[in-house]
Amino acid sequence: MGTLLLAAIALAGAPAASVVYIVAAELALGRLAVRPRRALRPWVWLAPALAFVAVFLVYPTLDTVVLSVRDATGAAWIGLANYAFALGSRDALIALRNTVIWLVLFTGLVVGGGLGIAALAERVRYDAAVRGIVFLPMALSFTAAGVIWKFVYEFRPAGAPQIGLLNAVLGAAVPGFEPRAWLVGPPWNTLLLIAAGVWTWVGFATVVFAAALKAVPAEIAEAARVDGAGEWRVFRQITLPLLGPTTGAVATAMVITALKVFDVVYVMTSGNFDTDVLATRMYHALFVDQHLGRAAALAVILLAATVPVMAVNLRRLRREAAAR
Amino acid sequence: MRVLRRAPVHLVLWLVGAAWLAPVVGLLVSSLRPAPDVAASGWWTVLRHPAFTLANYRDVLTAQGLGVGFLNSMAIAAPATAIPLLIAAYAAYAFAWMAFPGRGALFALMVMLLAVPLQTTLVPVLRLLTAAGLTGTFPALWLAHTGYGLPLAVFLLRNFIGGLPPDVLDSAAIDGAGAAQTFFRVVLPLSRPAVASLAIFQFLWVWNDLLVALSYLGGRPSVAPLTVTIAGLVSSLGSGWHLLTAAAFVSMALPLAVFFSLQPYFVRGLVAGAVKD
Amino acid sequence: MARQRRTAIVFVAAAMLLAAGGGDSSAAGKLGGTVSVLGTWGGSELDSFNAMVKPFEDRTGAHVEFQGTRDLTAVLQTRIQGGNPPDVAALPNPGALPLLARSHALKPLGRVLDMTQLARQYPSTWLDIGRVGGEPYAIVVKAALKGLVWYDPQTLAAEHVTLPPTWAGMLALTDRLAGRGTSAWCLGLGSGATSGWPATDWIDMLLLRAAGPAAHDAWVRHKIGWDAAPVRQAWEQFGRIAANPKDVYGGPPAVLATDFGDAPFPMFTKPPRCLFHLQATFIEAIIQKQFSWIRPGIDLAFVPMPRIAPQYAGVAQIAGDVFGMFHDTPQARALMRYLVSAEAQAIWVKRGGALSPNKGVPLDAYPDVLSRRAAELLVRAPAARFGAGDMMPPEMTAAFYKGTLDYVAHPDQLRAILARLEAVARDAYK
């Protein structure tokens, strides 16, 4: 019981403390002249968040950048050798290629699928049930999701009873189908891993899009319908533009999820059979090879890959600010 | 006519529903079958030869430390959800509605931090936590999950709060409300759908986390969350994995209850807020 | 036999004295406190571990806190570098010891354990496994015997097959069965992040049988390269079966896609789909869990891999968990002293699933005929070697695992695969 008491105190106490902090700081700001007040205010609101990310993300990242030009144990400076390793072998190129495939397919399917499901579900009365079903996988741990999809893709040699859903369904539907060991050979294995990833994440996109769709005023669409616009045109010309910011946000989150994708691959193939991605290679470098430098170089490459994503987001931000 | 025109919509939704449910149903059926059957025949064969057992659930529910693990998971996940969300909302408000030098750069940094692989932070952060004497305690996980969860929360909340109608905020300012009042009385209530969806995701990530808990909590059974207890059901040679099927449903129960109890907020949140004004 | 029993009793008594008198506290009372242990065990293994340390906890009042994870390397590395290591850890791969010892994460045991006493209880091979530069850093507490050919005697009788005494005979039998349309071998290499390890046991076993322990040692320490004749020949011998669609059930795709734990099951379906399975002692429990009708010794039996070169016929391939100390506390010392004792190890042995390297554990402590036979082989073996995969540096081991998967998928690329492994070796053995 002590456990829950402690948690309850933290649950109530920490947010309360943060509210007290904001109110007190605002009171103090109120005593200042207008100009210093305007200059200081944003920092008051940002400070707690900045403090947390500084300790838990920025500091470890700087540590990582320094390690990326050092040797296995972080002892000596070795220039860009780790980057050469991270980019320069057959294995590295396969991991890069797979990460790009993940970026394109995973992001596209999750954003498109989430938007489509949310938009269609809005038109039926059982929308809550649909959202609940596609959300189910989010509630599963990665281990459980891994168990599920290993089942689906399971292979037994021809002649033995299949226990994997995919081989069983294809065997029943396609005459003369020979069961396949899906996960042990490219290109199917990476595509099927992406399918499992999409299955897990579409619920995220659907729930966010559903929230955004509720914010689209019904009158605008209704007015267009009265003018004789079809459902598809209403969606494309009215709803979709209004969802722009949400789509951008979900796409950004998914691009980064795809870049970092680790659990699905690690649980199901561990990067074997040419399914490696950047994050599984980094994990391997960090914990198997115990080469801090190489792991750090791979992490820095991951970070660098987000630069274009940031640029797009910044442009959007500026446009928004200008429009206001 | 209307029903016919709507038929494709229903068809697509039913297909999606089936595709999403089939693997989960497979897991559920497997969790109710004797372990040897699972490796011998497909789960759908139970339709023809029903053979069920509750043994997997009995083994999971009587596993040593399961009750404690459940409490610990709650004790870890609840504060680790509430703290980052509130802090992120403050920051998002500043990013969206206050002008200051370096706003774009700072926000870009937040986006970039989304991409930091968790694994690279483990050692530096553990060093800090060890120095602070926090390893093996709940506060270590509350703080760490707050740090890890903030970038996404700030990013998504900024998008949402930035999309609020400016006139609503302006009218609050004209009424003489200060920044704090505007935030707590107008911005936060209007952001309910976004905060609710983020809350469920943050809760799920913390609830299902194994790596961070293993790394920062050490081996103390008294603080081990559910994920650690469940992982202990499987032997080093993989025997006992069938218990994971039952464990998945046991551990899913609470998050799903939270999701369904929060779901009305996704739907009503903004609408209700707008009507009130 | 009687003599063995008597020595056993003497050693048990000595170990009890040692454990009871253990601890650096001068107080005659109980030690108290806690000792944290990191390992890979879960499920019934964890129950057995807890049963093993129970007498220790009762006697010393010290509480043992076990943390189990199948991702041991990651958690151990993180906790060591984060400044928060466990007191004691049980590693399945002695190959990781040198790095841990050189970075001073592992504490030397020379002054913790009575090594002269221990030398009388443990065969010297087993003690050498835990030494780095002559200094003891870790001790094997729980072991398994590898390189055993498992089969169903009933099936062999029905198929009129007798077990050949040599590997050449085994290959001839494999061909004969293939001619009849029967796959001789059941094989599966899947094992999550460590997929491929059963193949490394195959290759190492073939090398041990053909070229002996000296070649194995040279290979494991990278004194001979991956393209050296004994190594390459062992790979080819393995590929001759594993990459041959007629010799393994389901062919190479099934070899790659099947988890090692599921691999022996087709031996026991009706009709059987394969006849032989090379695996360690721990497979017995996995098979019995799936087929509860199996009677050890009647429906399931094993022989050590048949001989290739006669002089290396009895060499045993082994696996086990080595215990090392990462925090020098009185409780950790007391636990280490207790764990190496025959008394402690007999507890796990009796519960099944473990062999003890301690000669003080009597053979009749083993719960069934197969484990007793395995223990006998283990004690009698003229030489014993840990599986090569467990003895190499972790980076090399991982590349070895992956290389075997590549080989089964592309048997024509052996030369390129061995060249890649050689490149990794230059890095891993620095």
Question: Mapping DSSP to helix (H, G, I), strand (E, B) and coil, where does residue C64 land?
Answer: strand
Q: For residue A118, is pLDDT > 50?
A: yes
Closest CB to C265: pick one of B39, B125, B126.
B39
Q: For residue C134, is pLDDT > 60?
A: yes
Please give the mean pLDDT across all residues of chain A.
89
For residue C150, the surrounding DSSP H or E stretch is strand C148-151
pLDDT, residue B255, reads 85
* pLDDT per residue as tens digits for the range C241-270: 999 999 999 999 999 999 999 999 999 998
Cα distances (Å, whole numbers) of residue A304 to A53, A300, A301, A311, C176: 18, 6, 5, 12, 59
Question: What whole-number distance in Å separates Cα of residue B168 and Cα of residue B190?
Answer: 10
Question: What whole-number distance in Å separates Cα of residue B28 and Cα of residue A320?
Answer: 47
Report residue C22's pLDDT band, with 50, 70 and 90 as the boundaries: very low
Concatenated DSSP letters of A176-223: TPPP--GGGSTTHHHHHHHHHHHHHHHHHHHHHHHHHHHTS-HHHHHH
- 109-128 of B, contacting A, C-beta below 8 A: 109-117, 119-121, 123-125, 128
Question: What whole-number distance in Å separates Cα of residue B226 and Cα of residue B207?
Answer: 8
Q: For residue B271, is pLDDT > 60?
A: no
Please give the mean pLDDT across all residues of chain B.
86
* pLDDT per residue as tens digits for the range C372-408: 999 999 988 889 999 999 999 999 999 999 999 999 9
Contacts of B35 in chain C (CB under 8 A): 289-290
To the nearest whole Å, the CA of A310 is away from the closest chain C CA by 31
Note whether B43 contacts A204, CB cutoff 8 Å. Answer: no
Question: What whole-number distance in Å separates Cα of residue C176 and Cα of residue B241?
Answer: 38
Note whether B126 contacts C41, CB cutoff 8 Å. Answer: no
Note whether A161 contacts B40, CB cutoff 8 Å. Answer: yes
Note whether A132 contacts B154, CB cutoff 8 Å. Answer: no
Count of pairs with CB atoms under 8 A, one residue in A, one in B: 317
Among residues C96, C86, C81, which one has the least CA distance to residue C34? C86
Neighbours of A285 (CB within 10 A): 25
* pLDDT per residue as tens digits for the range C328-353: 999 999 999 999 999 999 999 999 98
* pLDDT per residue as tens digits for the range B37-67: 888 889 999 888 888 999 999 988 888 788 8
- 166-185 of A, contacting C, C-beta below 8 A: 180-181, 183-185
Please give the mean pLDDT across all residues of chain C.
91
* pLDDT per residue as tens digits for the range B150-201: 999 999 899 888 888 888 888 877 777 788 888 998 899 888 888 888 898 8
Inter-residue contact B79 to A23 (CB < 8 Å): no
Closest CB to A55: pick one of B17, B128, B259.
B128
Note whether B115 contacts A162, CB cutoff 8 Å. Answer: no
pLDDT, residue C110, reads 94
* pLDDT per residue as tens digits for the range B6-23: 888 999 999 999 999 999
Report residue A195's pLDDT band, with 50, 70 and 90 as the boundaries: very high
Closest CB to A183: pick one of C250, C257, C409.
C257
Q: For residue C17, is pLDDT > 60?
A: no
Give residue for tokens 């700072």.
B106
pLDDT, residue C349, reads 96
To the nearest whole Å, the CA of A32 is away from the closest chain B CA by 14
Note whether C257 contacts A273, CB cutoff 8 Å. Answer: no
Worst-scoring range by mean pLDDT, A57-61, A72-76, A294-298, C164-168? A72-76
Mutate which of C402, C404, C420 to test chain A, going by most A C-beta atoms within 10 A?
C402
Note whether C44 contacts B240, CB cutoff 8 Å. Answer: yes
Note whether B232 contacts C44, CB cutoff 8 Å. Answer: no
| A59 vs C: CB within 8 A | no
List the single residue in A with minimal CA-CA distance to B203: A139
Note whether B231 contacts C292, CB cutoff 8 Å. Answer: no
3-state SS record for C348-415:
HHHHCCCECCCCCCCHHHCCCHHHHHHHHHHHHCCCEEECHHHHCCHHHHHHHHHHHHHHHHCHHHHH
pLDDT, residue B276, reads 32
Q: For residue B36, is pLDDT > 50?
A: yes
Average pLDDT of the segment spanning A13-42: 91
pLDDT, residue B266, reads 60
pLDDT, residue C422, reads 97
Q: For residue C7, is pLDDT > 80?
A: no
* pLDDT per residue as tens digits for the range A34-82: 889 889 999 999 999 999 999 999 999 999 888 888 887 777 888 888 9
Closest CB to A139: pick one of B6, B71, B256.
B256
pLDDT, residue C430, reads 76
Q: For residue A10, is pLDDT > 50?
A: yes
Report residue A22's pLDDT band, with 50, 70 and 90 as the boundaries: very high
pLDDT, residue A193, reads 96
Question: What whole-number distance in Å separates Cα of residue B112 and Cα of residue B155?
Answer: 10
Worst-scoring range by mean pLDDT, A47-61, A290-304, C94-108, C158-172? A290-304
Tell me the sheet residues that pair with C66: C37
List the single residue in A with minimal CA-CA distance to C73: A287
Q: For residue B68, is pLDDT > 50?
A: yes
Note whether B39 contacts C66, CB cutoff 8 Å. Answer: no
Contacts of C44 in chain B (CB under 8 A): 235, 239-240
**CB-based contacts of B197, cutoff 8 Å, min separation 6:** A207, A208, A211, B266
Mutate which of A150, A270, A275 to test chain C, going by most C C-beta atoms within 10 A?
A270
Note whether C74 contacts A287, CB cutoff 8 Å. Answer: yes
Average pLDDT of the segment spanning B200-222: 87
Closest CB to B20: pick one of A49, A136, A259.
A136
pTM here?
Answer: 0.91
Average pLDDT of the segment spanning C141-167: 96
To the nearest whole Å, the CA of B43 is away from the closest chain A CA by 7
Q: For residue C25, is pLDDT > 60?
A: no
The interface predicted TM-score of the complex, written ipTM, equals 0.89
pLDDT, residue C262, reads 92
Contacts of A73 in chain C (CB under 8 A): 103
Amino acid at the residue A232: W
Task: Provide, rounded to the nearest whole percent, the portion of chain B with pLDDT above 90.
Answer: 39
